[in-house]
Each structure stands twice: as structure tokens, then as C-alpha cells.
Amino acid sequence: MTAHKYQALANTIISKIAAGHLRFGEKLPSIRALMLSHDVSKNTVIKALAELEKYDYIEARIRLGYFVKFKHIENNTPVTLNAEIQPVEVTIPQIFYDIMQRSAAFDISPSCNEQYQSKYLLQLQKDISKATKVSPFIKASYYDSPIGLLSLRKQICTRYRNRDFLMDESEVCITSGCQHSLFLSLFSVCKPGDTVAVESPGFYGIIQLLEQLQLNIIEIPVASTTGLDLDALEQAASKWDIAAVVVTPSFSTPTGALMPIKNRQRIVTIANTHDFAVIEDDIYGELGFDSNLPPVKTFDSEQRVILCSSFSKSLSRDLRIGWVNGGRWHEKIIRLKLTSQLASGQLQQLAVAEFMANGHFKRHLHSFKSSLLLHRNQLLSALLQYGPSAIKYSLPQGGLALWVEFSQEINTTKLYSTALKKNIVLTPGQLFSSAGHFSNSMRISFNHPYTGQRLNALKQIINPDNCQGL
Amino acid sequence: MTAHKYQALANTIISKIAAGHLRFGEKLPSIRALMLSHDVSKNTVIKALAELEKYDYIEARIRLGYFVKFKHIENNTPVTLNAEIQPVEVTIPQIFYDIMQRSAAFDISPSCNEQYQSKYLLQLQKDISKATKVSPFIKASYYDSPIGLLSLRKQICTRYRNRDFLMDESEVCITSGCQHSLFLSLFSVCKPGDTVAVESPGFYGIIQLLEQLQLNIIEIPVASTTGLDLDALEQAASKWDIAAVVVTPSFSTPTGALMPIKNRQRIVTIANTHDFAVIEDDIYGELGFDSNLPPVKTFDSEQRVILCSSFSKSLSRDLRIGWVNGGRWHEKIIRLKLTSQLASGQLQQLAVAEFMANGHFKRHLHSFKSSLLLHRNQLLSALLQYGPSAIKYSLPQGGLALWVEFSQEINTTKLYSTALKKNIVLTPGQLFSSAGHFSNSMRISFNHPYTGQRLNALKQIINPDNCQGL
């Protein structure tokens, strides 16, 4: 359990509201009942209720108890694609590149000065300063080995042990971030003209990569709770020759879906049967509010799962440190890393290894996830309070973002341009598909607090009246 | 003039010895004559003579003056390739990748603790520490723009202004090093199956890239003084369809050749006539002992020259900061950088921009080049004193390495394996050609001082008797 107990309890109640188990106007169980059913102290229940009240999920009625406020959150149903599932070439309009660049910040209001500020980030900066003093002449004169610093690779393996995945440091190659890992993987597995299956809606960085590497795309629907639709993947693999699937099993962007363990096992079975590579994007793997599932790579029996991740979403985007475990393609990936940029910097690697060895990363994650849960609840609360009645959204149990679906007449790509004039950056749904799906959806991040200026920005983009006014 | 005056004078005299204008046993001009002919003080002449004496180029004979010691250095003649010049596919044996990885250090004796230690490197580390304090929360939360930090791009443009090349900061994109710049450039200019002309002998990093990108290679001979043979390039371009030429006009590895201005102009003319891209590797561009010529890009009239460089050889290999001016392919290159790794880290960029703005980079270069010249002279002196009589070598006026040619029966690739057992890393000639040329040559770096353990290592690899004994 990473979040504070009261936050976890509040989260559970929100989930019940979202799933319709607790409905608008319904009375909540008594404090005593909640204490017993959740095995927590009275103080925890009271703090949880205060939290829920603060964000307008519930209201206290004197002498009567607590009641669910507003309507319940409609859980987003699995997305169904109207178009036939088939491989196509990828061509991304230039305007989308501009949007992607801005959207990488996961912030609708980049000019807002309210930021998540962690004392552990200050500790990390201290560790970097300290690392500058370690052999500066040697660092300046010699390149690091292309696979990266041993001490850091060891720390990364330790993190995975906590998720029941055992790997050896020799199986890890340090990269310049998760996008770099994905690039190295796709380049090593596929050749131009190959077909790659991706999540739909799914991470636009993958779609860009497929375009750059001249690969065909096949979009597989995603359920906003359990992720990639494996029946659809199996059907596609039976019909078409697929070289690889790229999947984000934990808190996939944009939906925040979490693939259950049995699906993680099944995707490996499908890949074994149909002989394709599974490229696993694990970048949000440690960002579960309650627990972190083992990666798909854990169930890899034929060295065909490539695990890609980084510290960009869990610690700092500026480190530019990611990693890859390339399975049977590992040597090829290392060679490509060597050829395309020789080595990574040792300074940040040294600092992060030290930061992790001293337990700061663990403490940072605890604190960071607590903030993410808070921000998610602020966001959900604002969606409830200020969003139109036809709005639907996903309810992620971790990660950095959720997926919002408006009624059909709203076009979020058009909205993007008008919002930008007000310095508001929204991430339109069409970015998450190469086929132009999801024009009435958008991704909204909860990486930052929804208060002040950012809350005002949010109100503007989720209210259809404001939308039209923009 | 970057080196101290006395070093420059000593260097001029070594060049005369090398070119055969001053022969073994010949008397040097008098101190007074040297003062007049080089317009320097008596003190400068005396220090230069002391330097030459120290490294055994000359000897003082009482009351008679100074005399050239040993034989003169034979200037390496332009390399001629026996094989027909034609495009071929590239396949590099795995063993060569291992050698390349080790050779990237430019050090025959990596276990030796005698290093070039500059106070400016300490200043750089201080600037990095200082930069950690600049907006740590913002840096952790937001990616840098893919083109990189404006202040750094401005400083890079300023450096080029000193070399009479004017460019705007909007034309520069920051990368993860020169190898990364070359990768982005070749990927953007060529498609699999295209033919690329390269220097022979030339940088093995390019040969690797051609293999990875499935490009054909056409090896153009290099003269060890003036670089790429432009007549041969023109003939090849007339006969074959060439997509690009990769050229290192300043202090090309392995020969250290310096392409004269008129050749820099002519290669652009040839590229214009035959419609191919010129990918210019300028990584040693500021490492001239006496002067730094403008890059080929200066003479680019059709936006077909791509300028690639980095701080790895001039300041620190650990920064992982390079840059590229992509000419007509610039947008494509930026997009590929975004897609393959999103952004560069801001920390080091901030620190280097500050380091440069305060004049430290300029001072560092002055001091560093002075050391390089000293190390080169130590190396030449050792080659003279301990090398076999049939040895030939190039005499670079800058950069980090020179090219040594042994008699035909010596195979430096075989020598590599035996030397490695003694912890000596030599860089065999065959690495610098995809066709297996140069088996009796090697590159020797003068990045590090040739004293103590490293001098002993050098003696072993340049003496044929020791070679056989290895």
C-alpha cells in the first residue's frame, strides 16, 4: 500500500461510486461500519470522508450521515472501433507533431506555477552534484560502456524483484529514455513494411515510430479498465502476419487501463502461438496507487518479450535514463545503441544509482503516488462538478492520465487550436490513433494539482459551453 | 595562435624535419636567424629548442649549435587502394564491434592513471552542480524542446563565428553526441540500398552506421595530409549514384589530415554537380594546433551540407551533447530526434552554456590543445626512437590521433588480440575500412601523455621485435 491509508479508503469509495455500486443520493455506510469493513482506525475513516467531502463526492447531512453527491461517474465502456481492423501505412500530419511535442508535458496549463515539488527531487539534485566529483577526468576522457553503469542496472533489477520479476543486470541495457528503448526495440525487431499491432487508443509516440520506421499499423481496441482486447489481438494475428505488438500493460496512456495478471499471461501465449515479439512499455509500471503488477516479461518463456521503461514518469524527465531488456534481440539492440550514440552519460547514472541505493527512490515513489492520487481525485471531482452530463471517463488506479469522452458533436482537435490561444494545452483523442478515431475524446493528465489557474483551465476545456466560447 | 609561441615554433621545426626540409645531422639555423625568420623573442626560441631537445628531435653540440637527431620522419604518402573503387554492402564481424568499443577511448593504456587533468574540467563540474539548482522541479516535470536549449545553441553559433562560419541558432539542433548527429543525418538522407561515399581509411563509426542502415559503402582514398581525394570522389560520383559523402575535413580520424580551403570549396561544387548530400563530421574542428579552418558548411550554396559535431573530443565524452545543422533535411532530423528519444537533458546543456558564456571553454581549448601538441610530440619522439626503420606515419596539425604504417608482414588485427592480454588497446587499421584494407597500419592517439606506463605500452606495440614477442 503506497498511498496514505485514508487516501486509499477514499479511493476505494470513489471506485464504488464510479462503478455504480454507490449511487447519487445514497447514504454511505456509517463510520463504524467503514472501520470494520476496511480494517482501519476511526481517524482514518474521518480523514477519508473529509477528503471525499473536500472534492465534492459526498456531503454531510447533520445527524443523518454522509451521502453521495451529484450523479455517479459512468465507467467508460470498452472502446469499439467501427472501422475494420487491418494493417495500414502510417502518415502523421505535421500539425500532430506540434501537438505531440506540447502534450509530452502532461500538463494542460504549462504556464501555471503550481507544481508537484518533492524534497526527494532536491535530494536527487544533491546526488547529481555529488556525482560530479566522482572521477571527473576519467568521465571526461572515456565513454561509458554502451550497456550502462553496473550499479544502476543492479538497482533497476532490485526494483523489479519487488514486483516478482527476477532479472539479471546483464539483461539490462541503459538507454536515453523509454522512447529511445522503444525505438531501439522496433528497429531491431522489424524491417520496413512489417506490421505492428498497437493499442487503440494508444501512445502516439509509438505511432510516430511506426511512421519513421515505415512499418504498418494495426489498431487493436483497448478496454479502459483491462487494456488491450486480447480476443481482437488473437483474431488479428490469425488473419495477418504481425511482427510485434506494442503494449503498455500498466496504466497505459491515454486510458490508464491495467491489464490483469491472466491477460498478461495470455498475451505471451498468443505471441508464442503466432510467433511475434511483445514490446512492453512499462513506463508507468511502478505508479499503481494500491499495487504494482509484475510485467508481462515475467511470463516470457521464449525470450520474445522486450521490456522497455525509464525514470521519466516516475522520477524526472530530465535524467534521460531509460532501460531495455531485449530478450532474444538484446545483442542487436546494444549494437544499435552503440552505433547510434555510443554511450550514455555516467553522471546521472551514478547519481540515480546512489539515490536508489539509499532508499530515496522508494520514498519518492510513495510520496509521488500519494500526490498523483490526490490530483486524480481533484480531476475527477472537477469533471463531476463542471463537466457536461454526457461526459464519460476512465478511472485509472495509477499512472498519470485518464481518458475523457464527450458527446459526438465535440471535436477535440478543433478545440486544441482554440484552447492553445489561451495557453491551454489539451491532448486531442485523434493523436492516439492513426486512423482518425476518437475525435470526441481527449487525454487529461493528473500529473499536476488541479487548483488555481490549472483548475480554471480545466473548467474551460471540459465544459461544452466554454468549449464553444473558446 | 592557440598554442604557446614556443610550442608553435617547435611544431614548425618538427614539420620541417618531417617533410625532409631538415635532415638527420643537419644544423638548425642560429637562434638569431630563428628569431628573425619567425618574428619571436630570443626567449621563445630558446624554449622551443629546449622542447625539441627534450623530445630528442635535436641535440646541442657545444659551440657548434643545434643538430637534427636521428633520421627524419617520413611523411606518409597518400594511401592508394589496390581494389577497384565500387559500392559494396557492409558486414562487420562481431570481433570488430568489440575492438571499436575499446578503441573509442583513444587510449592504448586505459589502466594507466596518468591522465590529462584540466582545471577547466573542474570548473565544468562546478557549473553542472550549479545547474542542478536551476528549476529542479520544472526540469523533472517537463521535457526540453527537441531542438535543445536556446542559450547553448547561441554559444555554439558564436564558436563558429570565430571560424568565419555564420549560422543562426534556429539552424542548430542539439543531439546526444556527434555519433547521434551522424545517425540522424544518414537516416534522414538515405534509404536502405543507397550508396554512401566515405574516407578510406576513415572513421569506423560511419562504417557501423552504414551496416545498421543497410547502406552500401564506396571507399574513397584519403591523403594523410589533405584528406579525401576529390578526384577519386568525382570519378566515383560520375560512375555511381551516390546519396551522400561523409567527410571529416579537420583532423580526420585516423590520419589527422586537414582538408585545405580550396578542397572544402571543391567538395561542395562536386556535390552540387552530382546532387548528393555532404555529411560533415566536424568533431575535431576546433582542435587545430595553429588554426581552425571554416567548416565545409561555410561554402554550402544549396543547403546540402549537414554539419555534425559534439563536445566529446573537445571537452568531455560524458556530456553526451552534440549538434547538427541539417540544411534541407533539418526538419526531418528534428522529427527523427523527437521520435527516437523525445529530448535531451537540460542540466548539462545549461551548464555548458554557462561554461562557454564565461569564457571557460575558450580557455580550456587553449590549454587542452597545448597538451595535445605536447603529447603528439612525445608520441612522434617515441616513434622515432623506438619504432622500426620501415615505419611511416602521418603528422597531424591537430586532432587526437595519427596513423602509423608498418611493413607489409605486420598484421595489426592479430597484434590487437595479443596486446589486449597485456591490457594494451591498439586500434588496428582494418577497422578503418570495410574492405579489409590497412592490415599493416594502426591508429595511435595522442589524447594522453606518453610517459610512464603508457610510454612502455607504446614501445611494445611499435617495435616489431616486441610485437612478435607479444
What one-character DSSP code corresponds to residue B75?
Answer: B
* Closest in A144, A318, A339 to B345, CB measured: A318
Pair B439, B430: CB distance under 8 Å: yes
Report the residue of chain B nearest A310, measured CA to CA. Answer: B341
User: CA-to-CA distance for A261 and B288, rounded, in angstroms?
Assistant: 61
**Residue A207: closest C-alpha in chain B:** B339
What is the per-residue pLDDT across B248-278, written as a single tens digit (0 to 9) for each? 999 999 999 999 999 999 999 999 999 999 9
Partner-chain residue, chosen from B133, B209, B320, that has the shortest CB–CB distance to A345: B320
B115: chain A residues, CB-CB within 8 Å: 137-138, 141
Which residues are A222's β-sheet partners?
A: A228
Give B-chain residues touching A110 at CB under 8 angstroms.
142
Question: Is pLDDT at A80 greater than 70 in this prediction?
Answer: no
* Preferred mutation among B211, B317, B355, B367 to probe A, highest tally of A CBs within 10 A: B317
Q: Which residues of B touch A143 (CB under 8 A)?
A: 104-105, 312, 317
Is a pLDDT exceeding 60 seen at residue A72?
no
Categorise residue B364: left if φ over 0, alpha if ψ from -120 to 50, beta otherwise.
Answer: alpha
Report the alpha-carbon distance of residue B178 to residue B246 in Å, rounded: 13
Q: Given this model, what pLDDT does residue B58 score? A: 85
Q: Minimal CA–CA distance to A389: which of A296, A465, A333?
A: A465
Residue with cell 487493436: A220
Q: Which residue of A has its CA nearest to B97?
A: A335
Min Cα separation B60/chain A (Å): 37
> In whole angstroms, what is the distance from residue A140 CA to residue B355 CA?
15
**Which among B176, B117, B123 is positioned nearest to B319, based on CA atoms?**
B176
**Tens digit of pLDDT for each residue in A317-347?**
999 999 999 999 999 999 999 999 888 999 9
Separation in Å, CA of A92 to nearest CA in chain B: 11
The fraction of chain A above a pLDDT of 70, given in percent, is 93
- Peptide bond before A295: cis, by omega within 30 degrees of 0? no
Q: Is B258 helix (H, G, I), strand (E, B) or coil?
A: strand
Band of residue A468 on the pLDDT scale cut at 50, 70, 90: low
Residue B291 in contact with residue B253, Cβ under 8 Å? no
- The amino acid occupying position B391 is I
Residues 6+ apart with CB under 8 A from B408: B440
Contacts of A460-469 with C-beta under 8 Å, sequence gap 24+, read A460/A419, A460/A422, A460/A424, A461/A108, A461/A415, A461/A419, A461/A424, A461/A426, A462/A382, A462/A383, A462/A386, A462/A387, A462/A388, A462/A391, A462/A404, A463/A386, A463/A387, A463/A388, A464/A388, A464/A406, A464/A407, A464/A410, A467/A410, A467/A415
pLDDT score at A135? 84
A318–B115 CB contact, under 8 Å: no
- The beta-carbon neighbor of A317 closest among B129, B141, B316 is B141
Res A62: pLDDT: 76
8 Å CB contact between A100 and A204? yes
Reported as type and span, the H/E element at residue B334 is helix B330-341
- pLDDT, residue A19, reads 67
Distance from CA of B151 to the nearest CA of A (A): 17
CB count in 10 Å sphere of residue B126:
18
Q: Would the pTM count as exceeding 0.90?
A: no
Residues of chain A neighbouring B317 (CB-CB closer than 8 A): 139-143, 343
Nearest to B132 among A128, A141, A205 (CB): A128
Upper half-sphere CA count for residue A363 (Cβ side, 13 Å): 13
Distance of alpha carbon B207 from the chain centroid = 16
CB-CB under 8 Å, A140 with B315: yes
Please give the average per-residue pLDDT across A395-409, as a whole number.
Answer: 91
Which amino acid makes up residue B336? Answer: L
- The three cell numbers locating residue B454: 603508457
Residue closest to B252 by CA, chosen among B205, B182, B199: B199
Continuous segment of H or E residues that includes residue B325: strand B322-325
Question: Do residue B141 and residue A448 have CB atoms under 8 angstroms apart?
Answer: yes
- Measured between beta carbons, which residues in chain A are less than 8 angstroms from residue B330? none
CB pairs under 8 A between A and B: 175
Q: Please identify which residue in the block is written with the cell numbers 579525401.
A: B228
Among residues B2, B289, B294, the alpha carbon closest in space to that of B161 is found at: B294
Q: Tell me the CB-side half-sphere exposure of residue B197, using CA atoms within 13 A.
A: 32
Chain B residues near residue A93 by CB distance under 8 angstroms: none
- Under 8 Å CB-to-CB from A462, ≥6 apart: which residues? A382, A383, A386, A387, A388, A391, A404, A444
Specify the 3-state DSSP secondary structure of B265.
helix
Can you give the pLDDT at residue B394?
Answer: 87
Contact B107 A141 (CB under 8 A): yes
Q: Do B144 and A316 touch (CB under 8 A)?
A: no
Q: Please report which helix (H) or strand (E) contains residue B174, including its range.
A: strand B173-175
**Contacts of residue B136 in chain A, CB cutoff 8 Å?**
121-122, 124-125
A43, with CB counted inside 10 A (0-12, 13-18, 19+), is exposed
- Chain B residues within an 8 Å CB radius of A115: 137-138, 141
Average pLDDT along chain B, 470 residues, taken 10 residues at a time: 77 78 78 91 92 82 77 45 66 78 78 79 92 85 89 97 96 96 97 94 93 93 89 92 97 94 98 98 95 95 97 93 98 93 91 96 93 89 83 89 90 89 90 88 92 91 63
Burial class (CB in 10 A: 0-12, 13-18, 19+), B1: exposed
Nearest to B319 among A177, A315, A345 (CB): A345
Query: Which cell goes with A404?
Result: 475523457
User: Other C-beta atoms within 10 Å of A303: how many?
Assistant: 15
Chain B residue numbers with beta carbons less than 8 Å from the beta carbon of A137 are: 115-118, 121
Q: Do A447 and B212 touch (CB under 8 A)?
A: no
Beta-carbon separation of A177 and B348 below 8 A: no
Nearest to A305 by CA among A250, A335, A340, A264: A264
Is residue A3 predicted with pLDDT exceeding 80? no
Picking from B132, B180, B315, the nearest residue to A125 by CB comes out as B132
Q: Do A101 and B145 touch (CB under 8 A)?
A: yes
Tell me how close the Cα of A346 comes to any Cα of chain B, in angstroms: 6
User: Rounded to whole angstroms, how far apart are CA atoms A1 and A9?
Assistant: 11
Contact A424, A108 (CB under 8 A): yes
Alpha-carbon distance A334 to A339, whole Å?
9
Per residue in A420-451, pLDDT (tens digit) is 888 899 899 999 998 888 899 999 999 999 98
A50: Cβ contacts below 8 Å, ≥ 6 apart: none
- According to the model, what pLDDT value does residue A103 have? 74
Cell numbers for A186:
522496433
Half-sphere exposure of B325 (CA within 13 A, CB side): 25
8 Å CB contact of A345 and B137: no
Question: Which chain A residue is nearest to residue B208, measuring alpha carbons?
Answer: A339
Task: Mutation target for A interface from B187, B194, B283, B320: give the one with most A CBs within 10 A.
Answer: B320
Give B-chain residues touching A190 at CB under 8 angstroms.
none
What's the 3-state SS for chain A? CCCCHHHHHHHHHHHHHHHCCCCCCCECCCHHHHHHHHCCCHHHHHHHHHHHHHCCCEEEECCCEEEECCCCCCECCCCCCCCCCCCECCCCCHHHHHHHHHHCCCCCCCCCCCCCCCHHHHHHHHHHHHHHCCCHHHHHHCCCCCCCCHHHHHHHHHHHHCCCCCCCHHHCEEECCHHHHHHHHHHHHCCCCCEEEEEECCCHHHHHHHHHCCCEEEEEEEECCCEECHHHHHHHHHHCCCCEEEECCECCCCCCCECCHHHHHHHHHHHHHHCCEEEEECCCCCCECCCCCCCHHHHCCCCCEEEEEECCCCCCCCCCCEEEECHHHHHHHHHHHHHHHCCCCHHHHHHHHHHHHCCHHHHHHHHHHHHHHHHHHHHHHHHHHHCCCCCEECCCCECCEEEEECCCCCCHHHHHHHHHCCCCCCEEHHHHCCCCCCCCEEEEECCCCCCHHHHHHHHHHHCHHHHHHC
Q: What is the C-alpha separation between A385 and A56, in angstroms, rounded?
A: 8
Among A320, A333, A360, most B C-beta atoms within 10 A, so best to mutate, is A320
The string of pLDDT tens digits covering residues A113-149 is 777 788 899 999 999 999 998 888 888 888 888 999 9
What average pLDDT score do residues A91-116 get? 77
Task: Name residue B151's beta-bridge partners.
Answer: none
Interface test with A, best of B95, B132, B214 (most A CBs within 10 A): B132
Is A341 in contact with B448 (Cβ distance < 8 A)? Answer: no
Task: Give me the pLDDT at residue A293, please.
Answer: 96
Residue length of chain A? 470
List, in order, residues 6 or more apart from A148 with CB less than 8 Å away: A172, A173, A174, A323, A343, A344, A349
Residue whose C-alpha is closest to residue A446's, from A14, A92, A21: A14
